[in-house]
Structure 1
Amino acid sequence: MKKLFALLILLLSFQSLFAQVDFVKRFIKRMYFDKDSSKKSNLVLIPALASSPETGVEFGGAFLYSFYADTTPHNITRVSNLYGYTSITTKGQEKVSLNASYWAPQNTIHYTGSIGFVNFPFDFYGIGNNTRKADVEAIEEKRTKMTLEADKLVVKNFYAGIVAGGFKYYYYSGTYDENIAFKTDPAIEDKSGGSSVYIGPSLTYDTRNNNTYTTKGVIISAYLNLMQGIYGNNSYKGGFFNIEYSSFFALSKHFVLGFDVQEQSLIGGRSPFYLLPALGSDEMMRGYYTGRYRDRNFIAGQTELRYRATDRLGIVGFIGTGEVAHNGFTAHTLLPNYGGGIRYYFDTEKGLSIRADYGLGAKPTGEPRESGFYVALGESF
């Protein structure tokens, strides 16, 4: 009797295990392989794993939940989404972020928001457009930031709104050496960080045919953050201006050409180093470590040729240039970048993709060529 009971328990356990395996298979199939032309919501998960001497082993993941606020057939409402990322390391560091983009029915209002906490080291190279790798220093960063934005459709294709938020930055160097540049360079302002709140206007002109996989149209977006320091940083007053222009042209059924130009400027008499525009990211100037070059002003442009080989697969090639400057920009100091990547479209109806890009940059004298590999959700612009 005991043997029969044990056998029954074993059979039930296997049945439960197979049911779970079947559920996981169906879940993965729905996330990455189902071809659904309806306006259903979709959830995709991506694991993350990395390693470096400063962090040890880093592991975590990201999720993207996409949906429509209006699911009636043939409506023009754009895709809304909720994106989250979290990771921890074996040395006790962590990153947590949550970002939301909500398009109201008929795109009459667009809400965005983000909140994040970072406790992570980063490489600080200094300030300017010609920093050296030999001067890099590992700086510990603790950062909390929140941003909210609401834009209302005023006239066809034109949105006006308001952006507001706040942040708290804290920095310290992991070395007791008092002679390092981060501690001694007078050009590096507010080395220990600071807290501020901000508010300001935002304007957007948007004629894109799709906000996730654009094949034609233009978007011009601009915002101005007017900042006021709080707590121990209440003497700070400044601003941050950003403007970006992107346009897209369908060259054929499978080819799309995109152009993207962005300019950022820090406004005011002080220059907290953590607010300085930084060159390099997974979206603009791919191939450069984020913050390898930073200063009060930043400008960059890129063009990307996208080839949609099938509904699921795509290939891109990109080339661009950019620089940072304390005052005016000069053509002879522009830095190059170029590279390519692949796309997998896990939601063909919404045009949502996972992308992997490899970018190359300049080769500073006596240093290896700048390069970077990126895995991200969605197109770069």
Structure 2
Amino acid sequence: MKNKLILFLFTMGSLGMSDIASAQESWFRRFVNKTISDTTAPGEPSFRIYPTLGYSPETSFEFGLSSLLIFQAKKDTLNRLSEVAAFTFITLEGQYGLWFDNAIYGDKDKWFFLGRTRFQRFPLLYYGIGPETPEKDPALIDANYLLLRQRVLRKIRPNLFIGPEVDYQQLYNTAFKQPDNHTYDKPLGSDGTRNIGLGAALVYDDRHNVLNVRKGFFGEISFLKYSPQLGSDFNFQGINLDVRSSHPVSVRNVLAWQVYGNFYSGNVPFNQLALMGGEMIMRGYYYGRYRDKNMIATQVEHRWLPFGFSKRFGAVVFAGTAVVAPKINAFTFKHVRPSGGVGLRYLLFPKKDIFLRLDVGFTKDGPGFYLFTGEAF
């Protein structure tokens, strides 16, 4: 995401009826009504689709299409909002990808399906492993990447879920390209790797709207084991921790915080190490700018949703810190990396209270730009 700019035409949301009165039956008005206006009745599913445009040095221009389906089980407004999000893109450099994310709640929360899918042909910038890596001249690992991760959770008490988790990750058709001014040792898995992990997750979740949490707590701890007996190329295991809390300051204002951790041991391939950066936490850092077997990250965010003078637009400010280390007892304050930024919000689903977010994260490496539906955490 380094130096990446993503654009969306917010201006369509401010179109008045007088602007389209002359084309009441046109395709344009139908498009506006379906993609901008929230005309669905309470409990009815809602669907949005919109284009994105991006740029980064390693991809050139990127053209994408994002979509989001939100619904409540049995169309019951007392049930939690479920989401299925999709994003597909292609770049002028011939890279492409397809992403899916799901958080699906069953009727009365009996079941909870939480997962993500990724398929992409996309360059991975590699700065090395550890808390101290070169400031510039990363290697470029070009590869096909496939990720399938799903948790199938059963409610055992109100807001408390437990269940199995499966994770499949494959990196293939790889090419490791050294920079002109620096030579890296090729990391484990850089020639291609396939790993299958099985484990379990324990989740506490009392949020009602996972895309815009105004009040609620989410906590997850999970364990995954990867081994040759399961079909993996490498033998390793990991514990993941994710704790989030949101607190209403006023009717429009929310203060939220998150603590996130990855703790791995064994022969971990480079692409499955704990990775700092990305669109969720430590915004502004390229995803994987720093990587190692262990990471602890925190962030805090204040949200105005929306502004007091606007029905559609809001904003956020956020700040975070993170540190990676080869062992848990090797974490040091001198390796803690800071980040911070601001964001603009646009109310895409007024009846569902869901915003489109455009965030700008700032780090010592420069700014990073992100456009997604729903809050970062």
State the Cα distance separating 1:30 from its structure 2 match: 3.4
Tell me whether 1:144 sits opposite 2:146 in the alignment.
yes
Structure 1 residues 257 and 145: CA distance shift in structure 2, 3 A: same
Tell me whether 1:312 sits opposite 2:301 in the alignment.
no
State the Cα distance separating 1:325 from its structure 2 match: 1.0
Partner of 1:302: 299
Structure 1 residues 172 and 83: CA distance shift in structure 2, 3 A: same
Alignment of 1:214-363 (within 5 A): 214-229=213-228, 234=232, 236-268=234-266, 270-308=267-305, 309=307, 310-327=310-327, 328-361=330-363, 363=364
In structure 1, distance between residues paired with 2:209 and 2:99 = 25
Alignment of 1:12-91 (within 5 A): 22-34=26-38, 38-72=42-76, 75-91=77-93
- Contact 2:207-2:215 at 8 Å conserved across structures: yes
State the Cα distance separating 1:78 from its structure 2 match: 1.0
State the Cα distance separating 1:348 from its structure 2 match: 2.0
Partner of 1:377: 373
In structure 1, distance between residues paired with 2:27 and 2:71 = 22
State the Cα distance separating 1:181 from its structure 2 match: 3.1
Structure 1 residues 317 and 27: CA distance shift in structure 2, 3 A: same
Identical aligned residues as a percent:
29
SS in 2 for 1:281: coil
Partner of 1:15: none
Of 78, 97, 100, 1:98 maps to: 100
Q: Give the partner amino acid of 1:315.
A: A
Structure 1 residues 55 and 333: CA distance shift in structure 2, 3 A: closer
SS in 1 for 2:322: strand
Partner of 1:166: 168
Structure 1 residues 263 and 138: CA distance shift in structure 2, 3 A: same
In structure 2, distance between residues paired with 1:94 and 1:237 = 30
In structure 2, distance between residues paired with 1:85 and 1:315 = 23
Q: Give the partner amino acid of 1:314.
A: G
TM-score w.r.t. the length of structure 2 is 0.86
In structure 2, distance between residues paired with 1:333 and 1:176 = 25
In structure 1, distance between residues paired with 2:24 and 2:125 = 43
State the Cα distance separating 1:264 from its structure 2 match: 0.6
* Superposed CA offset, 1:163-184 (max 9, x none): 113121123124698x9533x3
* Superposed CA offset, 1:201-245 (max 9, x none): 1011122243222122211012111112489x7552111221111
- Contact 1:100-1:113 at 8 Å conserved across structures: yes
- Contact 1:247-1:259 at 8 Å conserved across structures: yes
Give the structure, 1 or 2, with the largest relative contact order (CA under 8 Å, sep 6 or more).
2
Unmatched tracts of structure 2, length 5 or more: 1-21
* Superposed CA offset, 1:33-60 (max 9, x none): 3365612211111212234454343222
Greater Rg by CA: 1
More moved, 258-267 vs 37-46: 37-46
- Contact 1:341-1:356 at 8 Å conserved across structures: yes
- Contact 1:216-1:249 at 8 Å conserved across structures: yes
- Contact 2:80-2:208 at 8 Å conserved across structures: no
TM-score w.r.t. the length of structure 1 is 0.85
Unmatched tracts of structure 1, length 5 or more: 1-17, 364-368
* Superposed CA offset, 1:60-94 (max 9, x none): 2111111111223xx42111122111112233321
- Contact 1:36-1:347 at 8 Å conserved across structures: no
**What is the aligned-residue RMSD (CA, Å)?**
2.4
- Contact 1:194-1:229 at 8 Å conserved across structures: no
SS in 2 for 1:70: helix
More moved, 302-311 vs 167-176: 167-176
More moved, 330-339 vs 53-62: 53-62
- Contact 1:284-1:300 at 8 Å conserved across structures: yes
- The total of aligned residue pairs comes to 350
State the Cα distance separating 1:249 from its structure 2 match: 1.1
SS in 2 for 1:135: coil
In structure 1, distance between residues paired with 2:190 and 2:141 = 10
